[in-house]
Structure 1
Amino acid sequence: MGKKVAVSACLAGKNCRYNGEPKGNPEVMEKLEKEGCEIVFFCPEDACFGTPREAMDLTVTPEGVKALTKYSKADRTEPIVEYAEKFFEDHPDIDLFVGKARSPSCGVRTGKLYDEEGNLISEKEAGIMAAEAKARGIEAVDDENY
């Protein structure tokens, strides 16, 4: 068996994006299958908040970077952190994390970071779950770079 790979479920075509629309990446899925990878799917946002749901942004707050809903500014950070911690505890042998680019949860190096006024600060951030993968020393890439 090849590598054990954690993959954002939306990349396989699961309609778990905030708006319920598909955003699959068949090229990544085909490549993982050809490499004989064992795939474990995840989606912290769907698991924690359901689909559809209000979109989120990574936002710098006085308490640090948070995942806040775009309009109501509800803090969604802690449920995503808890999901990520449990996911990696349940799957301690993950070799690679493939996240959906630009996701505030799963983007690895493409997450957008805003200040509290909504001004874009950076487009090179790790989402909440991707940051947990990286903190655990797991190789992590955005789907667009795999």
Structure 2
Amino acid sequence: MTDRNYLNNLRIPTKDNPLRILMSACLTGITCGFDGSANGEYPSALKILTYDTVKIVTFCPEEFSFGTPREMCDIHGGTGIDVLNGKAKVLTETGKDWTEGMIKSSEKMLEIAKKENIEIAILMDISAACGSQVIYNGNRFGSNKVYQIGSGVSAAQLKKNGFVVISQRDFASLEILYSKIDSKHKLDTTKVDHHEIDWYKEYFKIT
């Protein structure tokens, strides 16, 4: 779930004092996805790049540790916080253990967030590094792929250290954010966050 109370209390940024936002590099169009792409386009996230009242800092944890292109990886046996606590592993689609590299890249992301005094992070959901709402439980290419509620390793590292993270699919939260950085933005109250969509509720049996 997202912290809308925090979002609602964000300061109003200016050109001289922009809101400091950390984003998954792929969400900004940088071609750092596992296959050398930008993992598709997400207009709700790309829109933020057009404002001069924000300072965008980008980082790709997986590229940092493993380069681009690379194998796809997922968390096995838990979520990102379990990886950080030594209770779960990050494995590639061919079984390589990338746990150590993912932890190192999460530490680098945290270092950047602290150095830049980041006020909010917008990260790519589903990712084993950056997912903040939903991630895979095991190999996403398996015949019976399984989703789980939880964060990827880097997102968990940020949250553990007090940073607020939202995803590109948290449309209600993004609406609040846009109302802060754009005085002319009209808040669309019909938008919902990822954990509020029907698929999420049905899959995880939430009533």
**1:141 corresponds to:** 166
Deviation at 1:27, TM superposition (A): 2.7
**2:93 corresponds to:** 70
Q: Is 1:105–1:129's contact at 8 Å kept on the other side of the alignment?
A: yes
Deviation at 1:2, TM superposition (A): 2.7
**2:149 corresponds to:** 124
Identity over aligned pairs, percent: 30
Give the length in aligned residue pairs.
142
Counterpart secondary structure, 1:68: strand
**2:101 corresponds to:** 79
Counterpart secondary structure, 1:144: coil
Please point out which of 16, 29, 32 is paired with 1:13: 29
Deviation at 1:15, TM superposition (A): 1.1
Higher mean alpha-carbon deviation, 1-10 vs 128-137, is at: 1-10
**2:121 corresponds to:** 97
Structure 2, gaps ≥5 residues long: 1-16, 79-85, 175-207
Deviation at 1:35, TM superposition (A): 7.1
Q: Is 2:19–2:53's contact at 8 Å kept on the other side of the alignment?
A: yes
Aligned-pair Cα RMSD in Å: 2.1
User: CA-to-partner distance for each residue in 1:84-103, whole Å, 9 max, x for gaps?
Assistant: 21332243111111111111
Give TM-score, length-normalised by structure 1: 0.85
From the superposition, tell whether residues 90 and 11 of structure 1 become closer, same or farther in structure 2 (CA, over 3 Å): closer
User: CA-to-partner distance for each residue in 1:62-98, whole Å, 9 max, x for gaps?
Assistant: x522211012x11112222112213322431111111
Q: Is 1:6–1:94's contact at 8 Å kept on the other side of the alignment?
A: yes
Structure 1 Cα separation of the partners of residues 96 and 131 of structure 2? 20
Please point out which of 55, 67, 90 is paired with 1:38: 55
Please point out which of 100, 114, 128 is paired with 2:138: 114
Higher mean alpha-carbon deviation, 87-96 vs 10-19, is at: 87-96
Give TM-score, length-normalised by structure 2: 0.62
Q: Is 1:97–1:140's contact at 8 Å kept on the other side of the alignment?
A: yes
